[in-house]
A and B are shown apart, each in its own frame.
Chain A
Amino acid sequence: MTEPDIVEIPARLDAVAQLADHLNASCANAGVAPQAAIDLELALVEAANNIILHGYAGRSDGTIRLAVRQGHGVVELDLTDLGIPMEDGQMTMCRPFSLEAESGRGIQIIQSCIDVIDYHRNAGINCLSLKKFFDPSTPTGNPVPG
């Protein structure tokens, strides 16, 4: 894996695009498959939104740090924040699809886009790790199924 490529933003919804820009630039430089890059951005934005809205409960004085690591056929994202902890199992529990809901799809989207999700908290710091695999050997580099 590469050394982490790091960016930090204030915990505001209008700053989340900076995380996406950072991720997209990293993926473009590393030649990540386009479909995998799309899934990563979708998951990253939903995770960051959740940190802002729930972890910091709308406070704007917090920060979110994103570290991106690139490997052969894999991208790892580490999101860290100082907000309130996530409930146990929240990121991995099964959630039913709702076609009528106007909100609440964030975790479902993360689960659908990401292959390995890990959350832990240490010394008051939340760390959400998202890992996405993709096949780097084909020209389009289609995501590894499953």
Chain B
Amino acid sequence: MTIITLDGDLAIIKVTAARLDAAAGPAFKADIQAQLNGRAKRVLLDMGDVSFMDSTGLGVLVSLLKMLGKDGALAVAGAQPSVRRLFELTRLDTVFSLTNSVDSARAVLGD
């Protein structure tokens, strides 16, 4: 479901699941928590392969952002139209940095 690469305090999470929904959400959250385990302050979430996300998947991203704390940062790269629409509907596009590419997301995170 995820491929996580650590580069200093930056974690690059490639989400490989096509649907980040209520069925996949709990395992996704457990996977991230286990692999990050407090080792990152900045997270780049590569969602280019995710064609659909529901509110459960979005809730996992919110929990991830909270986990990083006020000094942390999270950028989402490659959100497809349906995923981007969910961020917009919930106003969470004002909280999460949405970029079109991994390189842009790296720049947002100061890398």
Query: Does A102 make an interface contact (CB < 8 A)?
Result: yes
* Smallest beta-carbon distance B80→chain A, Å: 9
Do A106 and B55 touch (CB < 8 A)? yes
**Secondary structure call for the B interface:** helix
Q: Say yes or no: A49-B85 contact (C-beta < 8 A), given A99-B92, A102-B63, A109-B90.
A: no
Whether A16 and B66, one on each chain, are in contact in the complex, defined by CB atoms closer than 8 angstroms, is no
Q: Please, which residue of chain B has its CB at the minimum distance from the CB of A45?
A: B54
Contacts A38-B82, A109-B55: A99 and B95 contacting too (C-beta < 8 A)? yes
* B19 contact set on A, CB distance < 8 A: 17
Q: Which residue of B lies closest to A99 (CB)?
A: B95
Give Cα A46 to B89, complex, Å: 13
Give the distance to chain A from B91, nearest Cβ to Cβ, in Å. Answer: 5
Complex Cα–Cα for A103 and B59 (A): 6
Q: Is there contact, CB below 8 Å, between B63 and A41?
A: no
Asked if B56 lies at the interface with its beta carbon under 8 angstroms from chain A, I say yes
B30 surroundings in chain A (CB, below 8 A) = none
Residue of A with least CB distance to B18? A17
Q: How far is the CA of A141 from the CA of B23 in the complex (A)?
A: 32
Judge whether B58 is part of the interface by a CB distance below 8 angstroms.
Answer: yes
Contacts known (A34-B81, A105-B55); A113 close to B23, Cβ less than 8 A: no
Interchain CB contact under 8 A, A39 and B85: yes
A14 touches B81 (CB 8 A): no
CB-defined contacts of A49 to chain B, threshold 8 Å:
21-22, 54-56
Which residues A19-49 have CB closer than 8 A to chain B?
20, 34-35, 38-39, 41-42, 45-46, 49
Q: Does A108 belong to the interface (CB within 8 Å)?
A: yes
Interface residues of B (CB under 8 A from A): 19, 21-23, 52, 54-56, 58-60, 62-63, 66, 81-82, 85-86, 89-92, 94-95
